[in-house]
Structure 1
C-alpha cells in the first residue's frame, strides 16, 4: 500500500434534514489547500489523535466549535491539490440542523448550507463535488429502502399565541433563511434531544425573548406532512401558551425580521401554507391535519 493510500487526513460531510450540506469557504491565501474554495471541514492527523475519527472531531471543534453526536465513516477519498500532490482522506458523515452563523469559526471565511444542485455553480474542487453526489446517491438509496418500512419523521415544534384581542403572533422570515424566506410563520424550530414542550419553551426564549412555563403549554394542533417522494416526512406540533412573560422581540435577526399580531380571519397572503392550515384547524376545533400524502 502506498503512502497516498493510507489516510492521514479526515474531513466530514455534514448534512441537515433538508438534504443541504455544510460547506466551508477557505481563505484565499496562496500555498494552502484549495485556497478561496468551498470545501469540507477537516484536517490532518496529529500525534495526539488516537484515531481518524478523533482527528475529525478535533478539527470540527477547533475550526467551528462543532460537536456532532455521531460520525460514521463514509469512504476514503483520494484528493489532488493545485500543486499536484495527492493525499488520502478518511471522509466521515454526520447530521446537524443548526445555524452556521452561530458557530465559532476560527479558520476560513464562512460556513453555509448548500443544496447539492447549487454546488456546480460554486468554486470547489471536482472531487469534493463528486463526493457529495455519491453521498446524495447513497442517502437516496437508503431512503428508497426505508420507504418500504419505517421512516423517521422530523419533529417541528411551534408556538401559537393569541393576545387579548384574539390576534395571532407570526414572524416574518428572513429572505436568506434556510426555510420559507419572506413568509410569515409561527415561532418554531426543530425538536432536539428534548421533549416537545421543552423544545417549544426553549424556542420561545431563544427566538422571541418570551418566558413560558411548561405547565402553561397545551397541544392544540398537529400537521403531518409529506413533502414528496424521497423527502423526510414532518410532524409539525403546534402548542398554545395560555400565559407568558415578555413582549415578542427579534432575537435571531438572521431568521426573523419582525413579529406581528394578525387577525386570524385576515392573514397575509404570504403565510407558510401549513401555518395557515394549522390556524384554520385550531379555530375549527380540529386537532389533526394531513398535508401532501397521496
Structure 2
C-alpha cells in the first residue's frame, strides 16, 4: 500500500465517523450553529463536500479539459477572494440533508479516484502552493477532522481521539514558518524539537533532539491548536524558548488569512 493509500484510508475513516454522527439528525439538528461563526452543521458538511469537489477539479488540471475547469474555479476565487469559500459552503449546505450526504459521498469517492490519476511526480494546483496528491489527501484529512470537532461541539458529543491525528500534527509542525509569515513576522532561526504524546501513548517527534527551542504535550491539544480549535491557554502544551511560545500563540496549519482562533475558557482541556 502506498503512502497516498494510507492517507486516503485514514481520510475515509475520518469522513465515515463524521457521516455517522450527522446522518440521523433532523432538520433542527442540521441547523445547529457550530463554533465557526455563521456556519451550521449543514454548512460545515457543505463546505467539506464543496472543497472535495474543488480538489477533484484541481487534481484533473493536468488535462486540457481539466485545466479549463480549474481555471474557472480560480476566476471565481479572484472575483470574490473574501467570500468565495463561504459562498460555496453556504450554497451546498442549503441542500436537503439526504441530497447533501449523497453529494458528499460522491465527492469523497471521486477525490480518491482523481488523486490516484495525477501523473507520478506531478503536483496539482491549489489556492496556495501546488500540492502533491498525498499532501492534498493529508490536507483534506486535517480539514475533515477539524470541522468534525466543530460538529461535535455543536452537538455536545465528545470527540474520540485516534492516532489518525498524526497527519494533522505533521502538517502543524511543517507549517511553523507559514504561521509566522501569515502574521507578517519573521520565523526565528533554528529548529524546534516537537515531542507529542499520541492517543496510544507513543511519543511522536520532529526536529533535532538537541534543539534549544522545544514544544511538548499531547498530540490532541497540539492538533486542536494548529487548527485553531482551542486557545493556547487551554492546552497542556509546554514551550521552552521564546520562539516556541510565540509559535504556539499564532500556529495555523490551514491556508488563508491569520485566523482569530478560539477564546480562552480558563484552563487546559
- Taking structure 1 as the reference length, the TM-score comes to 0.30
More strand by share: 1
Structure of larger gyration radius: 1
- Taking structure 2 as the reference length, the TM-score comes to 0.32
